[in-house]
Structure 1
Amino acid sequence: MRTVALAVTDGMLHFELSMAIEVFGSDLTHIVDPWYEFSLCGPAAVQVGRFRLEPDHGLDRLAHADTVIVPGWADTDTDPPAELVDAVRAAHAAGARMVSLCTGAFVLAAAGLLDGKRATTHWAHTAELARRHPNIIVDPDVLYVDNGDVLTSAGKAAAMDLCVHLVRLDHGSANANKIARRLVVPPHREGGQAQFIATPVPAPGSHPLAELFPWTLQRLGEPLTVEDLARQARMSSRHLGRHFKSLTGTTPLQWLHTQRIRHAQELLETTDETIDTIATATGMGTSTTLRRHFHRTVGVPPDTYRRTFRSHARPRPDAAAAAYHARHEA
């Protein structure tokens, strides 16, 4: 997935468009070399909010990219331009991985790329997407949906989550975490997390779980239970569950499971430790348990994951400690 093309026409949302440019259009060869070859593709000079952009290529160039990104589409009450829809459809037919950010899903939907698939968009527009395109399985409660060759995200910050997810798929979690740290965004949020949480996340240090999170991350190798977390937080298990739901959009056990899988990914990428050792370090206990949970969560066995992403790692004696600190300082 070396080449990334951003489809631009009049009426795109500049926030999501800027995110894609910042992640894929910046020179980040000091982190990953080679980095992506990036281009803007549009019919001519386009108006994006108060700004005008000069594309590098026409829309026909989309069919030559490995990944095509369609940013947010401002006017969801009207059909997107036919030339954009045709170019997106042609790119998918040519084998490109298609990605929409926020309301860019309306463009993929118009091209028929989401029919029969699960998809999402900004929560304020999910009902309209479902109404206009009844063949799509619209999920209003997630950050992003990965169907392999077609990916969709919710709005605003969730678009960045999907961009970082793409980097993780292409270059491994350790490098994705470095990119996230540079951008000062969370290194990883599961696509299945709620995109809209009624209670805002408090500033760091101002919520009841501020001390629990780092305490837990330092003990991923221990057999922690919800009761252990509740005891450390000095609250009941039920009360703990409510706080976790409001702060992370998930349950304590699911959050803990996710952190253990992420840590296992980093150890597989950055160390030569055996699967048994990694199982112990991540609190999975045995290699059998790690393999089962890892395969179920990531989609491939740990050994396959290591072979896939090992070439991106630069092993060093203190790799495990360095990877851990880089991850949690981000």
Structure 2
Amino acid sequence: MKTPLVAVTMGDGAGVGPEVVVRALADPEVRSLCRPVVVGDLRRLGDAAHITGVDVELRAVDGPEAAASEPGTIDVIDLGLLPADLPYGELSAVAGDAAYQYVKVASELAVAGRVQAICTAPLNKEALHAGGHPYPGHTELLAELCGVDEVSMMLSTPTVKVIHVTTHIGLVDAIERIDDALVERTIRRGDATLRHAGLARPRLGVCGINPHAGENGLFGRGEEAEKIVPAVERCRADGLDVQGPLPADTAFYLASRGDYDLIVAMYHDQGHGPVKVLGLETGVNISVGLPVIRTSVDHGTAFDIAGTGRADAGSMIEALRQAAALAPSP
């Protein structure tokens, strides 16, 4: 059986992206799980291989179909956008624009059905904006490029997985934005993603908004009854194994001991805090709702160590594992 084709974006060339990409793609286990093709800059990847001491051959290809995925070889769709003297560890509008172009090409491959997953190395938001692309981050950028109105963020660790109803907005705005339709769509996206990954009937736990999930109306203004309960009931009526609203302070404990396969968090910190405590080193960011699965490292461009060869590729390796595990068969 063929392994999935994964478009790996190089990220900001002034950061650690090139280094973690070459290190991860030299890993034999990664190569056994997927057929990666890097969208980036071949010369910069060659420099990263030299810096990190990774012995690989870099090969320019026209598209993912030409990716041979041979041991010791990294296939690259070479956009050639970076100057040879681009310094490491410095904010660069050129590198920010190049990072955008890598994602643009990867999204085009996804929309065309030419890859089954995208795995992204980190970009720098300030550099992205300086390069003329004012997006909050990868998720919003990919959603627009893929023509998708709504995408959910899922964080995955070996201990617990969580999908977010809202993410990068203020808490007051999040509570206002949450409604039963959005909660229902998020539950269904999470359930569908785990089914695609091979779980026949995922078990989902849905957090409340208020302390103790509102304590039957004692806390809050009835948000659980208005915004969460109807969504859970409709999903249960369709056969989904979903429970809630649950007190968030116990939901993650229950998931960590195996009671739930996925927790549905209502807002950013409700989901991110426990995940980072339970599995920061192996955490992976997954965008759910795109034409393909998209995974990403859980760290930034690390300008302070870029170009030194010290960057750890563990998160990129895990992101590639998750991309391969969640992607549909080609």
TM-score, normalized by length of structure 2?
0.35
TM-score, normalized by length of structure 1?
0.35
Which protein has greater RCO, CA pairs closer than 8 Å, 6+ apart? 2
Normalized per residue, the structure richer in strand is 2
Normalized per residue, the structure richer in helix is 1
